[in-house]
């Protein structure tokens, strides 16, 4: 087995950081023009796709050894996930004003609110994109490994994308019906887990990790990615903040009593 090409991979880390930073800085400039920072959520998925495409191009152009199938898979799977998420968030936010989360945060900012948003939102997200995408980056330099592990990763990714896409569509249809105004969504996948989209993200990133983990070097280096994403989804800015926001909605306490908080299971009676 050929040793992992640390020198080439190290150079690629700079290119991937530049790709993530370019997407977030361009989004920041657009946000200043539009007067809303909620569009940064659209940039999240786009930045991952940009990083995957950049690393794919650089690793292929340098002629470094790697598994071509794994390289294309990692790039395609990341791009499909990221761009679907970006399109969904863009459609959901069209015609709306500032996201209450960002409005509340910027109201407490000391000094220039725009510069505060640049530091605490855009640059932080660029750094997270770079960190979370490490297995996608490193996996493109990995020689052929277990095809079984790769197949399991693709399967887990597919389960995650299905949960995200179906859950988002079900929630969109529910909210589009005026009769459901003020009610808690508790149908379809939302009756099995309170967060099918976050659970989907969880599966997507553990799946990408399995696709990338062709050898122990990448497995050890890249495990930080799904661990960080899992923390963000369950304990960080995902599930915890959303449930705090929903806590006072009528019927939500009963919903939480019968529905799993994260991992899907049949609802309790």
234, 240 contact by CB (below 8 A)? yes
In a domain, 12, yes or no: yes
173, 245 contact by CB (below 8 A)? no
Give the pLDDT band of residue 77 (cuts 50, 70, 90).
very high
In a domain, 264, yes or no: no
In a domain, 1, yes or no: no
Chain segment 177-197, per-residue pLDDT in tens: 998 888 888 899 999 999 999
> What is the C-alpha separation between 174 and 253, in angstroms, rounded?
19
Is a pLDDT exceeding 80 seen at residue 152? yes
Give the per-residue pLDDT at 108: 80
How many CB atoms neighbour CB 1 within 10 A? 8
Lookup: tokens for 206: 């553990």
Number of domains in the chain: 1
Query: Average pLDDT, stretch 32-44?
Result: 91
The residue assigned the tokens 């309170």 is 194
In a domain, 265, yes or no: no
Is this model's pTM higher than 0.85 or not?
yes
Chain segment 226-261, per-residue pLDDT in tens: 999 999 888 876 666 677 767 777 788 888 889 998
In a domain, 267, yes or no: no
Give the per-residue pLDDT at 65: 66
Give the per-residue pLDDT at 86: 96
Give the DSSP letter string of 225-255.
HHHHHHHHHHTSTTHHHHHHHHTTSTTHHHH
> What is the C-alpha separation between 153 and 173, in angstroms, rounded?
30
The mean of the pLDDT values for the chain is 89
**Residue 92 belongs to domain spanning:** 6-258
In a domain, 269, yes or no: no
In a domain, 268, yes or no: no
In a domain, 153, yes or no: yes
Q: Is 140 helix (H, G, I), strand (E, B) or coil?
A: helix
């Amino acid at each position: 087995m050929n040793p992992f090409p640390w020198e080439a991979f190290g150079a690629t880390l700079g290119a991937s950081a530049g790709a993530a930073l370019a997407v977030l800085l361009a989004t920041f400039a657009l946000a200043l023009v539009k007067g809303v920072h909620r569009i940064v959520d659209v940039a999240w998925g786009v930045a991952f796709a940009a990083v995957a495409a950049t690393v794919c191009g650089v690793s292929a152009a340098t002629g470094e050894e790697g598994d071509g199938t794994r390289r294309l898979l990692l790039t395609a799977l990341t791009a499909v996930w990221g761009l679907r998420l970006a399109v969904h968030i863009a459609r959901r936010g069209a015609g709306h004003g500032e996201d209450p989360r960002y409005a509340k945060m910027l109201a407490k900012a000391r000094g220039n609110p725009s510069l505060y948003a640049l530091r605490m939102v855009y640059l932080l997200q660029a750094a997270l994109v770079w960190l979370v995408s490490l297995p996608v980056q490193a996996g493109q330099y990995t020689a052929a490994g277990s095809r079984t592990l790769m197949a399991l990763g693709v399967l887990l990714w597919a389960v995650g994308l299905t949960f995200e896409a179906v859950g988002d569509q079900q929630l969109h249809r529910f909210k589009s019906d005026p009769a459901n105004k003020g009610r808690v969504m508790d149908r379809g996948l939302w009756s099995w887990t309170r967060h099918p989209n976050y659970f989907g993200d969880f599966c997507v990133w553990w799946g990408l990790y399995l696709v990338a983990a062709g050898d122990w070097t990448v497995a050890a280096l890249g495990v930080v990615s799904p661990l960080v994403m899992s923390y963000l989804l369950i304990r960080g800015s995902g599930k915890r903040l959303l449930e705090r926001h929903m806590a006072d909605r009528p019927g939500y306490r009963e919903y939480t009593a019968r529905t799993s908080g994260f991992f899907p299971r049949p609802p309790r009676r």
